[in-house]
Amino acid sequence: MFKFEQNPAEKTDYIIGSTWSSLTKTWKKYNQAKEDMNIMLMRQYSKKIQNLQKKLGLEESHFEELSDYPDNTLFR
């Protein structure tokens, strides 16, 4: 199903589990920010999602809806 790219001796099951938990929670926060159309939070959570996916050895998600907004655009 998923292939973890880290050495099992380096990463404990606890670290992997807590990273999965963080990923799940961050996706929920991202979806809420998307529903609220809060682009700043969507960008923040998308970067965190990609970092967590990288830690788990997963393919990083692409956030197409954020590509229309430059990085320096601020929405409130």
Give per-residue pLDDT as tens, 9-59: 566 676 788 899 999 999 999 999 999 999 999 999 999 999 999 999 899
Task: List Cα–Cα distances, 52 to 2, 42, 59, in angstroms.
Answer: 14, 15, 10
Of 76, 51, 72, 50, residue with least CA distance to 63: 50
Work out the pLDDT band at 76, boundaries 50, 70, 90.
very low
Q: Cα 57 vs. chain centroid, distance in angstroms?
A: 12
Q: Which two tokens stand for residue 70?
A: 């430059």
Indicate the pTM of the whole model. 0.72
